[in-house]
Amino acid sequence: MRTPMTTDFPRHNHVYRTPRGLQLCGDSAELLARLPDQSADLILTSPPFALLRKKTYGNAEQDQYVEWLGRFGESAYRVLKDSGSFVLDLGGAYQRGKPVRSLYNYRVLLDFCDRLGYELAEEFFWFNPAKLPSPIEWVNKRKIRAKDAVNTIWWFSRCAEPKADVTRVLAPYSQRMKMLLKDPERFYRPKERPSGHDIAKTFGKENGGAIPSNLLQIPNTESNSAYLRLCKMLGRNSHPARFPSALPQFFIKFLTDPGDVVVDIFSGSNTTGQAAELLGRRWLSMELDREYAVLSAVRFMGRWSDDDVRQTIARLDAGEVVEIDDASLPIDVSEATSSVPEAGVLFPR
C-alpha cells in the first residue's frame, strides 16, 4: 500500500497544478526540507553546470560548484526512499584559459558517494549528436580539440539495489538481430565460444527489444515544439538549457512505477514534470526563477487557443495559482494507471 506524500508548502511558493503534479518556485534546498523523509521515488534533474561563462539562469563558479551542489544532494538524500534513485545530468567543462578539462563533474560524483553516502548504481553518458562545436577557442578557432558532445549522468541510489526494470526501456532490434530472430539456425552458425554460450540459442529469443546500453544517443533538436511556439507567441524568452523529453522519459520508465513520485529540483522549463505527467507518475518541480516557472505551464497547454494561453499566463504572472487540466496531453496508456492518486492526495491544499 502506498503512503501518501503529504506536505504543506507556503502559498507564495505555488505556481500551478496539474492532475498529477505541482510546480513550485523557490530555493529547492529549502523546499526539500518541507518534504517528509523517504517520500520521493526518483529525483531527476539537470542543474546549472559549472561553466566558465555566466548564464542568465545562474550557475556557480567551478571552484565553488561541488560544495554548492552538495547542499542540494544532502537535502535530497533524506527525501529519497531506500528504493529510490537520484539521476544527475552534468555537462562537461574546460578549465579557465587552457584546453584542459575540468574535473568538477567527477568531484561531484566522489563528494556524493564519499561524503553524502550515495551509491553509484551506474554511470550513463548522454551523447547529443546535434550539439554545436564548443568551446569556440579550442574547437573552432585553433582546432586542437574535438567538440564536446557527451554529458555525464550519474545514477545515484541510497541502497545497492534500487528499484529498476530495464525491460521497460528496451531498444529497437537491429536489422541483423531481426534476421537472427526470424531464423536463428540459418542466419548464424557459430563455433563454440570460450564462455560456452550458444549465441543462436541464448540470444535468438524475441524479448520485445534489445537491452539498452549506458550510452544514450538522444539528439537535442527541439525547434518546433508547442513549448517554443507558445513562448514565441507570448513574446517570452524560452529557457536556454532544456534537455529533450526522451531523456527524463527513459529514466522515469526505467526507475519508477505508475503513481510513483518524481521530483526535479532544478526544473527550468519543466520537461521532467511533463514527462512524468505523460507517464502517469506524480511529480513535484522546483525552480528558483519565477518567470521560467510560470512559462513552463505552457508545456501543458499545447492544444489550447492562444487567447486561453495568454489569459492563463497573465493569471500566473499576477500570482494566482492555476489548476491546469492535462486533458490535451496524449497520455501513454501503457504506463498510466487508473489507480494513480490525484494531485490533491499528493499535495493537499
CA distance 69 to 334: 35
Q: Is 51 in contact with 59 (CB distance < 8 Å)? A: yes
Of the candidates 39, 75, 85, 89, the residue annotated as catalytic is 89
Residue whose C-alpha cell reads 545514477 in the numeric block: 155
Q: Is 93 in contact with 102 (CB distance < 8 Å)? A: yes
Q: Is 280 in contact with 303 (CB distance < 8 Å)? A: no
Residue ranges of alpha helices (H) inside 7-164 are 28-32, 62-79, 104-110
Question: How far is it between the farthest Cα atoms of the chain?
Answer: 72
Catalytic site residue 134? no
- Buried residues in 177-199 as b, exposed as e (16+ CB within 10 A): beebeeebeeeeeeeeeeeeeee
Catalytic site residue 46? yes
Q: Is 192 in contact with 200 (CB distance < 8 Å)? A: no
Q: Is 273 in contact with 231 (CB distance < 8 Å)? A: no
Catalytic site residue 47? yes
Of the candidates 39, 46, 85, 269, the residue annotated as catalytic is 46
Q: How far is C-alpha 287 from the geometric centre of its chain's CA atoms?
A: 14
Of the candidates 19, 47, 48, 184, the residue annotated as catalytic is 47
| Run of H or E including 86 | strand 80-90
Burial of 286 (0-12, 13-18, 19+ CB in 10 A): buried
Name the pairing type of β-strands 80-90 and 21-25: unpaired
Beta bridge partners of 123: 154
What is the CB neighbour count within 10 angstroms for residue 142? 10
CA distance 89 to 46: 5
Active-site residue set = 46-47, 89
